[in-house]
Structure formats: C-alpha cells, structure tokens
Amino acid sequence: MLTSGKVVEVPEALAVAPKEAVNEGARAPFLISGDGRHIFYYRKKDGLFVERTVHGKERVVAKGITAYAIGEEWPFVSYDGSFVVTGTSGPGLGVFVDLRKGKAMGPPEKTDAWGLAGFSPDSTRLLLRGERMVVFDRALRSRLRLKTRLAPSALAGDYTTSAVLVGEGGRYRKVRLLSLRTGRAGAVVSVKLPRGQYIDDIDFDRSGRLVVRSRTATGVAVYQVSRRTGAVKLLKEIERPDAAVWVLPHDDAYEPWTERK
C-alpha cells in the first residue's frame, strides 16, 4: 500500500518457498527499503531475488540468491536499497551486492564468520561483527576496527558512533553509545517507552538522531530518543492491518510485528 492509500499488487512475488526448496512452504521474504522507494522479492518464474521500484522494471540482485535457499539464507537491505547482504544459517554472511555498480562480492577478509550489525544511514558504510567490530566501505575495504565486548546494533552517519542495546534480549529498554574509534562507551540510558513496550529495532537517522521502533498492542510505534536523557518523542504510530503478514519499510526478513499472532 502506498502512502496515498493506493494498493499495488505484486503477483510475480513468491509468497512461500517452492517445492524444490530446502524449506518448502516457508514464508518468502518481501522487503521494502527504508526510504520506501524499492521493493525486493523472490520472483515466481525462476526463484531469483529481484529489486525494483513500485512501477519500475525488475533487476536481478545476484544470481546466487535464490528461493531454493529460503530459510537457510535471508537478505538485508540498506536504507536506500542500494546494497544487499545475505545472512546464512552457517552462521555468517554470504553475498554482498552493490547495486549501484551491479557488483556481487564474497565476504571480506577471506572469512564468512561475520554478523551484520547495520548500515550507515547513507548506505556508504557497513558495520560487521566478528572477532572485532569493523566498519567497511561499499568495496568491503576496512575503514575502522575495534576490539570490544560490546555488540553494537546501529551505526551513525559519522561512521564512528554506534548504539548498543543493554539488557535481556527481546526486552531491551536501555541503550548506550560506543565510539568505534576510541572504544569509549557512554553511560547507560533508560529509554522512556510506555509501560509494556520494548526496543524492537534501533537505528540512527540521516540527521544523527537515535530512532527506535517498538511493537504495540495495535501495531508499531516509532520514537526519536534523546541520547542524554532517554526521553522519547513519538514520530509515527502504525496500526496493524487485517492481513496474515505485513512488511514495513526498513524491516528485515523477520520482525516481531511481521506475522499476525
């Protein structure tokens, strides 16, 4: 559904993994870039993972990303839809695709033992988690690395500031900032979300502001968070539609609010 309220059908997108797939019948990822301009899906006719604008032509992301591996690998998309990374059940990362250049690459530094911590808001940097936290550019050249016990979940537009969630997985309500250049961590700040809500997703916007998404009883709420006090400002509230599955811009392949319970 577009912001205008118009509904655009995508009949060429697979809804579930095909019979020949490793995980037959598993839900097929359908992704929307954070800017809302690009959609990504597995194509029915050949199982390839493709990208297009709502009214544009399809473009194959990489021939090595196919519907037959749904559930064994899953795609992540940068905010502007120009870079795609696949996670694998290995665990680790598989294919890195720069769609601006039409170039697919293997994991950097001759190892797939990475986890994707996030993209910078302008999609020019990737933060990967391995033995060290490493900031890579789009050509997968190392720009900054830090050995730390902390596990950042988001990278700011200065390419050095990161956000670390603090607490029990799935019930996060605290955050701290970490400098990837100096290794210095800021104070732990309690995010003042409404009672019963938790941080389900955290990121920096293009202005450097910290933004979180939180599942609510009726859908999802998006908040701007003060780095210093944890005070929140409601930016948007989205009510869940009456649908089996729904996907929001900037969602990963699975989010806590994706499927109807």
Q: Residue ranges per domain, the chain?
A: 1-106
Determine what percent of the chain is predicted with pLDDT higher than 90: 82
What average pLDDT does the structure give for the chain? 93
Cα 23 to chain centroid distance, Å, stands at 22
Residue 157's pLDDT band, with cuts at 50, 70 and 90, is very high
Give the whole-number percent of the chain exceeding pLDDT 70.
95
More confident: 4 or 73: 73
Q: Is the pLDDT of residue 209 over 90?
A: yes
Q: How far apart are CA 221 and CA 235, in angstroms?
A: 8
pLDDT in the model for residue 237: 93
Q: 4 falls in which pLDDT band (50, 70, 90)? A: low
Q: Lowest mean pLDDT: which of 25-34, 108-117, 154-163, 252-261?
A: 252-261
- Residue 23 — left, alpha, or beta (φ > 0 → left; ψ -120 to 50 → alpha)? beta
CA distances from 188 to 165, 179, 207, 222 (A): 9, 14, 22, 21
The confidence score (pLDDT) of residue 8 equals 75
pLDDT of residue 55: 83
Instruction: Give Rg (Cα) of the chain.
Output: 18
Q: How many CB atoms lie within 10 A of CB 233?
A: 11
Backbone CA torsion sign across 42, 125, 198, 90: positive
Question: For residue 204, which of 111, 125, 98, 90 has the smallest C-alpha distance?
Answer: 125
In this predicted structure, the answer to whether residue 244 has a pLDDT above a threshold of 80 is no
pLDDT greater than 70 at residue 187 = yes
pLDDT value at position 242?
A: 81
Mean pLDDT of 23-39: 94
